[in-house]
Structures are given as C-alpha cells and as structure tokens.
Chains A and B, each alone.
Chain A
Amino acid sequence: MNVAIIRFPGSNCDQDALWALRGPVGVEAEYVWYESTSLQGFDAVFVPGGFSYGDYLRCGAVAARAPIMAEVGRFAAEGRPVIGVCNGFQVLCEAGLLPGALLLNEKQKFLCQDVWLRADSRRSVWTKDVDQLLRVPIAHGEGRFVCDADTLARLQDHDLVAFRYVDQEGRTTPEGNPNGSMDSIAGVVNDRGNVLGLMPHPERASNPLLGSVDGLVILRALAYVSA
C-alpha cells in the first residue's frame, strides 16, 4: 500500500499527512510534485490541506488545473481511492471529482477548533463501519459546503454524505455546524464512493499528544477502500 501525497505550491498539511500515514496508520506514503504526470506505483491519493497558490483565486481553483490533476482524475475514474482534506477537498470539488463548493464560513472568519463528526453514509466504504462520533479539528476560512437543490437531493438520496457536523450528542444543530454548511455537510463522496472530500483534518487527530486519535479511523479506511 503506497499513498501519493500531492504537493502543490502552498500545500501546508502535506508533511502532516505524510507523518500520519507513515506513522500511526502504518502505510507507505510519498510526495508527488504537482508538475508530475504519473501516479504509477501508487494505490491511493491524498490531496492535503493548505493554501495552494495562496488561495488568491477561488480556493483550489488553480491547483485543480495543475498537471498532476488529470492523472488524479484518471486514477479516480478507475475506482481507486482518493481523499482530499480541507484545501484538498476544495481542489477535488474544483476539479469536478466531487459535487458542491466550499464558500466563506457563515461568520466570515477563519475557524480553528475541534468539531464532532457523524459518519452518515452507510454505502461508502470510507465510513460504513464508523459507528462512534469523531472529534477532529477544523482549520479553514472557506469551508461552508453548498450545492444546488438537485445535487443536495442526490447526495441525500444516494447516501453520499460521508460526514455531518453534529453536537456532542450526535444531533445536527446550528451550534454543532461551525461554518454554516448546507445540511451540516462536512464531507461527501462521489457516486462511486471511492473519492472522499472533507473539511476536518483527520491527520490532526492521529496521535494522543494531539488530543484525539479519532482521525485514524478515516485514514485507515484508505487501506480498505483500496482493497
């Protein structure tokens, strides 16, 4: 199992992903430079967080057009696992690999805090076995998930909502939804279920020193999805 961690100029959670995957998750992982055009030898793709190209245009918009992304698209079309976290989620949306878009948080400010996540999709291999609530940090200014009504209905009807923001009791409430995301959506999968995007950072909840290891269940799913 070897995971490609895509490095764009401005990625800043690339190292965190590498450490989490090589360390507690226990799989191989390597950086792949954005100018590369091959994912040969890799079993999964991790698009990390950060501020690719400074997020000076729409978040993820420039990175989505980087040379490596055509290959990530082909990789995803083969049904192989691709995960995008935070800016990586934005990149996957901009690349058309996931539905929806991420806009400025409802309260207009960057938010760094722990959130509670409920894994909702019973269909997706990423989440179907996740029963407990997960405590994972978010750190973003533009993480409010939005999509048109048809897309939202399709996400709901086809069980494509991977994670929702919830309160400590597991209920979707306005207080539990930090950025005002539509239907409290924190993460979605594509129709086929192999591509996952989420705003919270599982790699930041991967070590007891960081206060939570709840992110590991998501990262470990990489191995199941690829199998």
Chain B
Amino acid sequence: MPTIAPDVYLSMGLTEEEYEKICALLGRVPTETELGMFSVQWSEHCSYKCSKPVLSYFKKYKEAIEGEGLENAGVVDIGGGLGVVMKVESHNHPSAVEPYQGAATGVGGIIRDIFTMGARPVASLNSLRFGPIRDGEADHEIVRRNRYLFEHVVRGIGGYGNCVGVPTVAGEVAFHPRYSGNPLVNAMCVGIVKTDSVATAGASGVGNSVIYLGSSTGKDGIHGASFASEVLGEDSEAKRPNVQIGDPFAEKLLIEATLEALETGAVQSIQDMGAAGLTCSTTEMSSKGGVGMEIDLDLVPMREADMSSYELMLSESQERMLCVAHPGREQEVINVFRKWGLNAVVIGKVTDDGRVKVWRHGRLEVDAPSLAFTDECPVNRLPAEEPDHFRRATEFRLDALEVIEPRAALSRLLECPTLASKLWVYRQYDQSVQTQTALLPGQGDAAVLAPRGTQKGIALKIDGNARWVYLDPYVGGQLAVAEAARNVACVGARPRAVTDGLNYGSPKQPHVFWQFERSVRGIADACEAFDTPVVSGNVSFYNESDLGEVLPTPLIGMMGVLENAEDRIGMALSPGLEVWAVGYRVEPGTQQGLGASAYLAECHGIENGRPLAPDLVLERQLCELLVTGVENGLILCAHDVSEGGAAFALAEMAMAGGTGLSVDLGGLHAGLERDDAVLFGEFPGTVFVGLRPGSGKDLEALVPTGLRAVPIGESGHDSAVCLKIDGRSVLTCGTLELAAISEGAIPELMAHVLE
C-alpha cells in the first residue's frame, strides 16, 4: 500500500492528526487528489475549524448549524415578497501579492455568492486596510509599497465591479502600520431575491444531471484557500501563481445566464465554484443534499488539455458554477448558457451513496463520503490569553497631556488618510449603474438603494474601527455594531441585519484568539440588543507577516430598511437650519472620551486608553428616534459622532453642505475638564441633526426617557465652522478651507504612484 510522506500533507497545510483522521475516514491512504481536496475543505477558510465554537455566539448561526443549515439563514425578508441577501468576504492574501487581481476576484467571488442564491446583485461595498501611505510613517520602501497596493486594490475593485454593472455604493479605507505587510480587502455584496425563488445548493434527485457552467478550468489559483489559511512570509511573492485571474465580462454573462436559467425552473440546485472550485461545489452540494455525486473530469471544459485530476479539482479558475438539473430538463439550462456564449456541459450525476466519486482518464481518482469533507474536520479549541496592552489601556491616564490648538488638531485629523475624504477612491467606482442608488458615497452615513418593485429603501453600511477593538475588543465589537446601526438610522432606516468580516492574525497566538473571542462576543451581544441577526459572514485568520499581525479588525456590514426610500436624508447641512444634538449622556471617566481616540493617535502619537462603551438599550432607542424623526420630516440631515469626535462630525456636515455653522458644545457631556475632550472625544450615542427653525419642540415630543435632544446652534454663518464651549469661542475655520484639506490629502499622496 502506498504511503504519503509527511512533507506532502504538511506542505498542503494539513497536520499529522488531520492526516490520520483522513486515513481513518477513508479506511485507506488517500490519493493525492483526495488529499488536496481535504486540505482545502479542512482549511480554516472553508471549515471554520478554529472559529466555529466562537461563531456559535451568533444566535442565528448557532440555530442554523444545528437546524436547517446556513444557506437559507441568509435571506432577510423585507416584505412585499422581496428578500435581501448579503455577505462579506475577505481577499487579503491574494491582494497582498497581486493587488489588482486579488481585489478584483474578491469582488467577483462575493457577487457569485449572491446570485448563486437566485438574487440579483444590486450593490457592492468594500472595506480596505493598508499600511501608512505618508512619508515618515514607515520605511520609504514600505510606504511606496503601501501606496502601490492601495492604488491597485482600488483599481481592481473598480475594474471588476464597474464592468459587471454592480454599483459600489459604500465603503471605508483606513491606514495603520500594522497592515503594512498584510493589507485587508473585504468585499461585500448585496442582492435582492423574490422570497419564493431562493435557489438552493443542496443537490437532490438520484440520477439527475450535474452540469458544469461558465468559464473553462485552467491551472490558476490552485490551493488558494490553503494559501489564505497561512501566514504571509518571505516566499509569499512566489505564491503569485496561487492568485486567480478575474474576467468580469464572463461574470456579467454568468449573472445574466444564471438568473435566466433559474427563472426557467429547470435548475434543482446550484452553487458557485468558490474556494477550490470543483472540490467545494461537489462536496458541499452533495453533503447539503444528503446525496452523492459522480463526475467525469474528462468532460470538464479545460484551458489546457494535460490537466491532472488534482489540478482540475483544486483549480480556482473564476466565473464557474455547478448545477443540478431537474430530470429531463438539462437542455433548457444548456440553451440559456449557450445563448450567453458560456460553457454548459453535463459532467456527472447525482447518486444515492453519499459519496463523491471523481473519474479522470477512466480511473477513479476520488471516492470518499461527502460528509467527510464538510462535517468531519476536527474542530480546534484554542487557548485565549489577555494581552498586556489591554491592562495598559485600562490604566492609561491623560494627566498633563497637552491640549493641542483646536484648529491645528482638526486639520491634522482632516488630512490623515484614514479620516480624509475618500472622493479619490469612490470616484473610481461606478456608484449609480442600475439606477437605484438614492444616496451616494459621501452624501450620508450610509448608502441608500431604492430597489425597483417596492417603495422601500435599503440602507447599507460597512464599518469597523480596529483601534477601538485592539484596545478593548469586547467594547470595540459592541461599538462596531452600534455605530453601523446608528449610521443606517442616520439616513432614516431601521437596522435589520448584519453580515460580518472578521480579520485577525493567527488564532494560534493566544492573545489573537482572545481578541477574536472577545470581539465576537461584543458583536454578538450588540446584535442581540439591536435585534439585527448576523446572517452571514467570513473569518480571515493568519493575517500576519514578518511585520507582525494586523490589528484585530472585525467589520460590520449593516442593512437597514426605510419604509419609503424617498424619506432618506444625508448628512449635508443646508444654511438656515437649527443644529441639535440627540442621544444620551455618557460618563466620560478619567480618560474623558479620549481613550483609543483618533485625536490621541493622530495629534499625540498615542494609541492607548479604552473606548467608551455604548449603552445598547439607549442606542437602539436612539436609532428608533432618528428613524421616526426622519419619517415625520422633522430631521433634515444627520451625522453621528465617531472617530474624530464632535468637532470632526460637525465639520463633515458643514463640508458636505458647503455651508457654515455655529454651535456651542458646552454641557453635552458632564464632567469634561478639557476642551480637546469636548471637541475630539469619541462618545458613542451622539448624533447631530439639522431641523427647520422652530421644529425642535416636535422633535422633543418624540424623545423617550433616557435620551435627550438639545439645541446647540445653527447652520449658515458665512461658510465658517465656529465652535464654542460654554460661550467661549474655541475654533473658527472656513468650510472651504477645511474641505480643501480633507479632499486634497489622498490625491496629493497618490499623485505619483508608479504603475
């Protein structure tokens, strides 16, 4: 009996224990192809072997894995027979070595996840993290590399998304030295589906034909999923061949053909070929359907004739799907795909023995129970350990920290790449194709879509503040959800559901696992409080390089619903409005709201202290108050206090509206001893709104106990932002001047990036 040398399975990312379990499951030594398939399906990317115990904090996830399975858990019913599906996926490692294709195929992959459910993809969002792009914040070569990555990731997202005709409606970009070796590229896609036409991935019907759809299979992207589940190192550049190449034109055809084929009713089940293409689609479709599947690789459309079964099963060539047709209806599916100029070839059939069998050149190369691939992966229980910096963050004191001159501090915040205007980025994305975008990037705290066929609007946001999570993962997790919820409420939408992108270093480092566990707990608790279930998500571990691990970066994709899309509001102040603060008081404590703040980081170079915890009950009431105020036509614009504090939020409202404002921030939070805390403290639960003069009484009438609405000033004022504290003028600056700083920052840094 042939044996397999340990260096073979170890090089595929399998442990000795896992290898032994595979042998036990098969009752023999696996073939090379089987081993490759196990290594992919048992990678963290596919199996969640390290994260599963923690993900069960998400109630809906727990219910789904114990009950009907995850796939249908992802549809959010918005009424009128329509459902919203959404998901985030990371493409961090591919983007680190080949930024354009890495980002592009990240977008393509998540779009396929959406239309494979029968939903038309209606919006893309993204969340990006890079190392510093300003000179002096890292070695010159690293800064240059970071700019290069930023430039080409943005191009890749645009290049793919623009071509497939899915608008990119929202996103965020942040920069920090901890991402220098390992940028984060998370793409989110949102689709709309008739709730009675959700497609399934569970194969059924013994004897039914299995049909290969879409682009031909080549030798690209082999072992991409395993690559995503290891730490980036010196040899990462050699992994470039592991990166898939995207073909957005093929994807556009695939979207139209798939949706058209599903409409015929001839498709029994369908799944996209994600990680390890044919491996995941055959094993997962049969495992979900409780059946077996037998395919002949000789029939697979190939780009090169000499491909082995190993290469065919492991290839991550893009823009491919696998479907099962109802008996006798294969030709209907094939005809639709042929019309769109795409491959559609019967390559096998559904069987009753629960086994995946794969033939190549007349030889049975794979013969294994489908469940072995999908359900038998050993779950790792990893140790967690609180890191020292968490204790230091708790003990941090402001003491004699200098109060920076407010105007200089505000300029510093406006020009730092994380907080500067992202116009340079989103102008490269088609934001309005499909003509449903009712609030564009930069106009409000969230994007709003007005989908056809309903009066309702959908508000979308993706957000995460890794500094908060780093310094207090539990509170940071809560804040991420609270802020995303507040953001959709600020445009007039009730928060409804969450998808998350969880990005961390190696979970085998106890302090990383602790960050993961604590932040997921925070997210889960906040999602319970808001009644916004986590309907889907993605875990990305091993975001490390020789420069260290990334900051713990959980991202929250939030979807909210407006009863009437026409009600949506943005953040732009127009002249002549009253400016009010609504929300709740927060006890500022010894760190005065400056713990973990952008002000400390950007103006003092200190990343320490802890973020203030949100009151989740009041946060939810605040969201409801905002939505009611918008629905009643009282609130005309709204923006929440977040990174950069009150001064930054007000400056953004003035810049968006091209007007000025004069407000007094004194007394908003009791017990503040420093002007910088009033101006730049990051207090949860505060939203600034613009009201028609005299309508404040009507707003006050809506305010429940525990919340408050306070008039703080008005807009207009000669296009200057004038901030006071208890009648004392502390900051005056022309709005255009502020906008020039904010909008000029990134273009200036990116002006000379070489191809």
Residues of A in contact with B (beta carbons under 8 Å apart): 9-10, 12-13, 15-16, 19-20, 49-51, 53-56, 109-113, 137, 139, 141, 201, 203-204, 206-211
B154-191 with Cβ < 8 A to chain A: 155, 158-159, 162-165
- B428 near A53 (CB under 8 angstroms)? no
- B249 near A210 (CB under 8 angstroms)? no
- B432 near A56 (CB under 8 angstroms)? no
Chain A residues with Cβ below 8 Å from B162 are: 51, 110, 112, 139, 141
- B252 near A12 (CB under 8 angstroms)? yes
B248 within 8 A of A: yes
Chain B residues with Cβ below 8 Å from A49 are: 433
Chain B: residues with Cβ within 8 Å of the partner, total of 32
Nearest opposing residue in chain A for B247, CB measure? A54
- B435 near A16 (CB under 8 angstroms)? yes
- A37-B31 Cα distance, complex, nearest whole Å: 54
User: DSSP majority for the A interface?
Assistant: mixed
- A117-B540 Cα distance, complex, nearest whole Å: 46
- B432 near A204 (CB under 8 angstroms)? yes
- Known contacts A206-B435, A209-B566; A51 and B249 CB within 8 A of each other: yes
- A109 near B428 (CB under 8 angstroms)? yes
- Known contacts A9-B341, A209-B565; A56 and B433 CB within 8 A of each other: no
B409-436 with Cβ < 8 A to chain A: 426-435
Residues of B in contact with A (beta carbons under 8 Å apart): 155, 158-159, 162-165, 247-250, 252-253, 340-341, 426-435, 437-438, 440, 450, 452, 565-566
Closest 3 CB pairs of A and B: A12-B165, A54-B249, A51-B163
Q: A12-B163, A112-B428 are in contact. List 9 more A-B contacts (CB 8 A).
A: A9-B249, A9-B340, A50-B165, A51-B165, A54-B250, A54-B252, A139-B432, A210-B438, A211-B438
7 contacts between A and B (CB under 8 A): A51-B163, A51-B252, A109-B155, A110-B162, A112-B426, A203-B435, A211-B438
- Given B163, B429, B435, B438, which contacts A112 in the complex, CB threshold below 8 Å? B429
Shortest A198–chain B CB gap in Å is 16
Chain B residues with Cβ below 8 Å from A206 are: 435
Nearest opposing residue in chain A for B568, CB measure? A209
Nearest opposing residue in chain A for B165, CB measure? A12
- A53-B435 Cα distance, complex, nearest whole Å: 22
- B435 near A207 (CB under 8 angstroms)? yes
- A114-B411 Cα distance, complex, nearest whole Å: 28
- Given B155, B341, B432, which contacts A137 in the complex, CB threshold below 8 Å? B432
Chain A residues with Cβ below 8 Å from B430 are: 110, 112, 139
Chain B residues with Cβ below 8 Å from A211 are: 438, 440
Shortest A50–chain B CB gap in Å is 6
- A204-B437 Cα distance, complex, nearest whole Å: 9
- A111-B249 Cα distance, complex, nearest whole Å: 19
- A112 near B431 (CB under 8 angstroms)? yes
- Known contacts A12-B164, A16-B433, A51-B249; A113 and B438 CB within 8 A of each other: no
Nearest opposing residue in chain A for B154, CB measure? A109
- A16 near B434 (CB under 8 angstroms)? yes
- A157-B249 Cα distance, complex, nearest whole Å: 40
